[in-house]
Structure formats: C-alpha cells, structure tokens
Amino acid sequence: MALKVFNTETRALSPFEPLEDGKARIYACGPTIYDHAHIGNFRTFLFFDVVHRHLEWSGYNVRFVMNLTDVDDKTIGGAVKAGSSVAEFTRPFGEAFLADCNTLGMLPADSYPRATQYITQMVDFVVRLIANGHAYVADDGAVYFSVASFPRYGRLKGIDTSTLKVGARVSQDEYEKEDARDFALWKPAAEADEKAMAAWDSPWGRGRPGWHLECSVMSLTELGDTLDLHLGGEDLVFPHHENEIAQSEAATGKLFVRNWLHVKHLQVEGRKMSKSLGNFVTVRQLLEEGYDPASIRHQLVSAHYRSDLNFTRDGLDASRSAVQRLVNFESRLEAVPVGDGEPSGLRDVSAETLAAFRAAMDNDFNTADAMAALFGLVNRVNALLDARPRVPAEDVASVRDALSSMDRVLGLLEVAKASRSVDASLASWVEERIQARADARKRKDFAAADAIRGELTARGIVLEDGAGGTRWKVLGPAAAASGAAPK
Ligand code: AMP
Ligand code: ZN
C-alpha cells in the first residue's frame, strides 16, 4: 500500500504524490522563539519528525525546512521588555529549542530559516504583489493583500468568504484597509519595532514584514514554488495558512501546497494548556521532574496526530514502562541462546509485523496502530522464546532487523539509548570530579574543592555530603542538554 495522507484542503485521504517522483519537499511552521516551547508544541514538532522519518524510511529524498519565528508581536514585545534587539532576545530561545529537539530525538532539518535573514526577499515579494495588482499601499505605509483579488480565498478553511464583510470600508481611524478581510504584508515601523531593531528600509518607508508573509517567502525561497507537504498545528489553518496560500499563489501563479497536514492540539491533564491554568509544561520541567526523553517522545507520538491526546503524569509513567519493555526486549534478543534446529516461526512474525507497521504508517501516519504492531512483535516473540530453549540465529536476526527498522521511524530505542549513554559518560565524569574534590579537601585546599563544586553546579549537578560519602543528583537539564561530560 502506498502512503495516503489526509489533506486539510480536500478533507479527504489521498495518495501522496509529490511534484517530483521520489522527492519530498516539506515546510513546517516552527516555534515563535520568545519563550521555551511547551509539550503541546512538541506534540506538533514530533509529528513533523515522524513524517520526516517515515518518508526517509520509505525511500524518499526529503528536504525538510522548519522556520523559527523571530519577528512578530511577541518577540518584539519580549525584546523591548528585555531592552535588547529581537536577534539577541530570541537567540537563547532558538538554541534551547534546538537542544530540546535533539534531546527528543528529532532529525535535524535541512534548514531553519528565520525572518530576520530574509527581509530582502520579503520586500521583493511585496513589490511583486503590488505590481500584479494583488496588494496596495495604504496612506500610513502599510501594504495590504487584497483578498478580493484572489477569488479562491477561503478554500483551506472551507469558508465562503462572502460571509465575511466584503468591500465594507473599514473605520478609517483604525485601519487604512480597503476591505475588512485584507491582511497586512508589510507594517509601518512602530516605536517598539525600532527599539527592538525589527524595522527595515523599504520602498514604503521603515517597516517590518507581517507573520504570514514570512512563512510564504521562506518556504518558496527554500523549497521552490510548490511544496509537497506543509505542516502545522490545527490553530494555523486560518488565517495563517489561508493567507500563505493567497499570497504565494498570487505571486507565482502556481499551486502552493499539494498536501496540508494539521496536528490536533494536545490537552494537559484533561484541559487546554495555558499559563493561567498553571498546566503549561516544558520539556525541561519534565526532565527536572526526572522523566526521560524517550518516555516523553513515546507519549507524544502514541496517538494518531488527528486524534485527541491528553498528556498526564500517569500516562508518562505508562510510557516509561513501554519504553523499558522495548529496551528489555532488545537486550533479550542480544542474549538469546541460538543454535540449529527447527525454524521457530520468528521470521514470519517479523515479516508480518513489518507489513502491519508499514500499512499503519502509510495510512496517514497512524502511529497508534504502528506502535500496536511494534508491541505485538514484543509479545509474540517473547512468548515464542519462552517456549523454546534455542532458536536459529537467522530467526533472531530477523526480529532484531525488524525492531531496528521500525525504530528508525519511531525513534524510541534510539532516544532511550542516547540519553543513557550521556548518563553513563556524565556519571563517570561526576564520580571523577567528586574524587578530585575529596582529594583537595584532604590536602586542605578548600579553594580547589569549592571550584570543583562550582564546576558541577554549573552543569546542573548538586552534591550532598553525608556520613557515607558524597551523593549527587542532576537538578536541571543543563548536564543532559550539554551532551557528554567534558574531558
Ligand atoms: P507557536 O510557537 O505558538 O508559533 O507554535 C508552534 C507550533 O505549535 C504551531 O504549529 C502551533 O500550532 C503548535 N501548537 C501550539 N499549541 C499547541 C498544543 N497545545 N498542541 C499541539 N500543538 C500546538
Ligand atoms: Zn508559518
């Protein structure tokens, strides 16, 4: 069965047919880097990763681009408050985001464009839209897209745009728009924009791009006029993606996106995640609570992306057990006694599992069914091994191959092993430092001993001296995020 995807635009499952055979051009709307990404964002981003991995696993040559939004109202507001430029203000959040992606096992994107790097292309794009009659300049220097000039507007959301206020001239005091539906491509620079160094020269005076324009220009520049897949969370369908379609197609005259995929929002402990409800959870907080990255990844990819998913601590505990079952299973396969004898049936089980796994993933990336196939393999093989003292080596190898093949898509064992190997090298480094500190104290070189404690604290490690010696624990993600222990 070939891959089928659910396209938001057609509201139907259809075969995935890229523009060019064997190639997949993917653009994903990434985070706005004014704060740390939360686990809701990561439900969406890990779905992007599953798409990326499944297409590579299926043999496509994938080009995957995910933007980092560094110019918008939130980043500008944050920069002004911090007294810095948007570039400086967003840098640490961008870095933290990429570190979280790495911790959760996301394959790196081919490119992570930021709006600040594409201003020239954005200005050129607006010039083009004005020249072909799809945009106009208002008296205050703003440039608007004319929705009336694009009759296909509304097709992604499935709305009849005539139900929106058409042609009504909007209050001249508030807007300089000709039509209530029109949206800004370019905004005149406000005082805050100048303060945050988020204002640039343009033929219409100082100003900055609108958020919708940013994604159109970065995706077209990075991937060409037509994308095979455009991904995002469900809240982006309207107006963000609707506006992207209008601008892009008005500029190029070509179909912008062949398939739109949108991820349902994550709930946390049964409720919408929000700062005011106090259930706003980041990956870093969960790591500090002692959860490991593979459990987080498991829980966030365990449901089909268009189904509800409710994130709970209990669910995370269940995910931890599920990942542990996989780790134990892999170890058992390494240690199983092999020998000649009757075929065990394991090869058939492996082939059936791989077929079921592929069918699930090809059915609009159904990770829930794919995981059921994976854990079905664990159950069936464990039962077969329990019943036989020895099995042929090739039979065991077929199971190992099936397991590692599926993990190239789901990435659970991969992340579990990566976080453990960091732990192992970190642990030996910490033990060595603790010994050096004990030696320094014996020599009464307390300055050296304190320096070593400081070095450990800087990496998120706290020491507790007790009667039985010094114990240690990792308080924050600093040590894990920084990778292996320093030499
Ligand atoms: P933002 O950083 O707000 O621009 O959001 C980045 C991505 O995360 C977008 O694709 C959003 O649609 C998505 N997103 C935001 N909240 C959630 C949530 N609770 N569950 C899943 N995805 C989300
Ligand atoms: Zn976007």
pLDDT in tens, 236-265: 999 999 999 999 999 999 999 999 999 999
pLDDT at 102: 95
Map residue 208 onto helix, strand or coil: strand
Nearest to 29 by CA among 246, 257, 249: 257
8 A C-beta contact, residue 189 and residue 199: yes
Segment 173-203, tens digit of pLDDT: 445 678 888 999 999 999 999 999 999 999 9
| Residue 325, CA distances (Å) to 321, 335, 396, 421 in order | 6, 15, 17, 18
- Spacing, Cα 28 to ligand 2 middle (Å): 7
Q: Is 32 in the pocket of ligand 1 (CB under 6 A)?
A: yes
**Mean pLDDT for the stretch of residues 346-360:** 98
| pLDDT over threshold 90, residue 169 | no
Segment 364-406, tens digit of pLDDT: 999 999 999 999 999 999 999 999 889 999 999 999 999 999 9
| Residue 206, CA distances (Å) to 134, 142, 143, 263 in order | 21, 10, 12, 36
HSE, side-chain direction, 13 A CA sphere, residue 13 = 9
- Going by alpha carbons, the residue nearest to atom 11 of ligand 1 is 233
pLDDT at 163: 61
pLDDT at 481: 36
pLDDT at 226: 98
| pLDDT over threshold 50, residue 463 | yes
Burial class (CB in 10 A: 0-12, 13-18, 19+), 196: buried
Residue-by-residue DSSP string for 237-266: IIIIIHHHHHHHHHHHSS--BS-EEEEPPP
Q: How far is CA 281 from the centre of its chain?
A: 15
pTM of the model: 0.87
Best residue for ligand 1 mutational test, from 35, 41, 212, 237 (most atoms within 8 Å of Cβ): 41
Structural domains in the chain plus CATH codes? 18-267 (3.40.50.620), 290-420 (1.10.730.10), 424-474 (no CATH)
Chain mean pLDDT for the chain: 91
Measured from the alpha carbon of residue 247, the closest ligand is 2
- Spacing, Cα 40 to ligand 1 middle (Å): 6
pLDDT at 1: 62
Could you identify the atom of ligand 1 that is nearest to the CA of residue 265?
20
- Going by alpha carbons, the residue nearest to atom 2 of ligand 1 is 31
**Mean pLDDT for the stretch of residues 345-352:** 97
- Spacing, Cα 423 to ligand 1 middle (Å): 30
Q: How confident is the model at residue 458 (pLDDT cuts 50, 70, 90)?
A: confident
Task: List beta partners, residue 69.
Answer: 32
Could you identify the atom of ligand 1 that is nearest to the CA of residue 28?
10
Q: How confident is the model at residue 227 (pLDDT cuts 50, 70, 90)?
A: very high
Q: Is 388 in the pocket of ligand 1 (CB under 6 A)?
A: no
CA distance 441 to 463: 14
Token pair 């620079």 in the structure block, residue: 189
Task: Please state which of the ranges 168-172, 330-334, 344-348, 385-389 shows the lowest mean pLDDT.
Answer: 168-172
Q: How confident is the model at residue 475 (pLDDT cuts 50, 70, 90)?
A: low
| pLDDT over threshold 70, residue 2 | yes
Best residue for ligand 1 mutational test, from 32, 42, 44, 215 (most atoms within 8 Å of Cβ): 44
